Structure 1
């Protein structure tokens, strides 16, 4: 049983019952995402106050358009409505690609700062209980984030690419890793 205290913060995920399929049968609205608006009142979010990061734009499944088919024979330019759908979907994908950097750095901060210590005896216990990920996966993400951040400031590198570049990054430095990444 977890010793974590419950934190009630408004959800950014819809309360749509269809979200249950995405998050699993135990899904409760607000369980997996925090709303960045209103978390600390009118002054902004806890995360923004602590880090200066603007996290007001994460997307939930409910914010993405419903998939629809367009015939292969359609060659007309995109409508404004379709351009809007493209922009929203690309925003979601951009956030996904940045995840290795964000998740890896967050795990490193939690691990090195022992921020789990109020509720868990070890980092591994914390990983198992809270995130249900193995220690090896967590450390791969921790090792990958500095490479990913250095090679691609916009976060368009995945964990596997960062892992492959890590030896070059460690042995020859950031400039060599960036040059290799761009060349490949």
Structure 2
């Protein structure tokens, strides 16, 4: 059974962030590139219209929505490319319990490797200490989760830098390309 309420919440967040990003860089320009009128573009990003469609899917007796504007994948992706804001994608991934982040831009030599490893260890212990501190009262609430999430992201980022450095070194020395866009 699909959780339509969770779907509504996720789509509202995703479309709202997408709409804000497009507005920040200039909706007129974005919609011109997408070859859409401004009202059509905004309607396609309007969470209210998406809610009507979800309501229609959730309840067979519901009337078909009057508005059938839909933001398609191409427009969604082009919007993120043009705004340089991937928050909607991150929110979409979160809905499916997928962790995502952009790879770091790391220029590191061997001398910096030890320092990076020390940062990985520091961040690991920071996360560990936060969890332990927050569990002292036997409760792990939303505020606790926010702090641990933030600290965990620091650990993931330095870990990603270490992985990126290692992958780059493999690529440079063996000819086996493990870095770059869209490599698995």
* TM-score, normalising length: structure 2: 0.26
Between 1 and 2, higher relative CO (CA 8 Å, sep ≥ 6) is seen in 2
Larger Rg: 2
* TM-score, normalising length: structure 1: 0.26
